[in-house]
Amino acid sequence: MSTTIVALTCLPDAGEVLDTLSSAKFLDVCRRSGAGRVQVNISDDQVAGAMRISELDPPIEAVVTLHGELGAEALDIGPVLDALESVATVVGAWSAAQRAPLDPDLPADGSRVDALANIAFLRRPADLPREEWLRLWLDEHTTVAIETQATFGYFQNVVEQALTPDTPRVDAIVEELFPMAAVTDYHTFYGSGGDQGELERRMNRMLMSVGRFGADRNLDVVPTSRRDFDLR
């Protein structure tokens, strides 16, 4: 199943953009382009105060993910990009192969998922071969991330190619779902139960792991609210 991820910036107003992206008109464009499910993530007031890391300037403010119908080789992304460019600035679009180590049953009726949805845009260090980078990230780090954080959703997208001109380099896009209290509470974020020693142990283990494959630098982390739409 094909997955296309589009990053947006320069949103005039998060609420107005959400109205457009959840409208029947936009969703019909996505359906006609081959999408079976659309995911809309917007950095809004409900996640204000959460950790943000911005390598890009201006920063990414929203992400639209289109999941193709089963058996579809590729999405016709052109009409979708035209629709998105009418409400915001497109940073870039990428095709990706997705896997989900934690794949919860989420509503797909356009309602807000009760979560802080962190989306990270990762870049492979130049001195780390791609296969080794993938091994360290997918085979070794995945377990560490799950064991040291209070995530209940975890989606890993390995970028296959850029779909837009002058697209910023991105090698992977990760989404993690946390309880809403994690917006302002590190103990909730890391699942340490209020134990300061356990919090520090989990943070140190996580930092050591991400450092091994370069995810401690040259990345963007965007806190968002997530909504899903089933178009089938």
State the average pLDDT over residues 126-135: 97
- CATH architecture of structural domain 3-230: 2-Layer Sandwich (3.30)
Does 1 score more than 70 pLDDT?
no
Residues whose CB is less than 8 angstroms from the CB of residue 8 and which lie 6 or more positions away in sequence, other chains included: 17, 60, 61, 62, 63, 64, 84, 88, 89, 90, 91
The whole-angstrom distance between residue 48's C-alpha and the CA centroid of its chain comes to 17
Domain spans, the chain: 3-230
Q: How many helices (H) and strands (E) does the chain have?
A: 7, 9
Q: Is 56 exposed, middle or buried, given 0-12, 13-18 or 19+ CB atoms closer than 10 A? A: middle
State the average pLDDT over residues 144-172: 97
State the average pLDDT over residues 97-107: 97
What pLDDT, on a 0 to 100 scale, did the predictor assign at position 71? 47
pLDDT, tens digit, for every residue of 187-199?
Answer: 999 999 999 999 9
Give the integer Cα–Cα distance in Å for 227 and 8. Answer: 16
What pLDDT, on a 0 to 100 scale, did the predictor assign at position 75? 85
Does 73 score more than 70 pLDDT?
no
pLDDT, tens digit, for every residue of 74-92?
Answer: 789 999 999 999 999 999 9
Report which of residues 147 and 74 the model is more confident about. Answer: 147
Over its C-alpha atoms, the chain yields an Rg (Å, rounded) of 17
Residue 216: pLDDT band by 50, 70, 90 thresholds?
A: very high
What pLDDT, on a 0 to 100 scale, did the predictor assign at position 164? 96
What pLDDT, on a 0 to 100 scale, did the predictor assign at position 70? 53
Q: What is the DSSP code (8-state) at residue 43?
A: -
pLDDT, tens digit, for every residue of 17-67?
Answer: 999 999 999 999 999 999 999 999 999 999 999 999 999 999 999 999 999
pTM: 0.96
Residues whose CB is less than 8 angstroms from the CB of residue 227 and which lie 6 or more positions away in sequence, other chains included: 18, 22, 39, 40, 41, 110, 111, 112, 113
Q: What is the DSSP code (8-state) at residue 224?
A: E
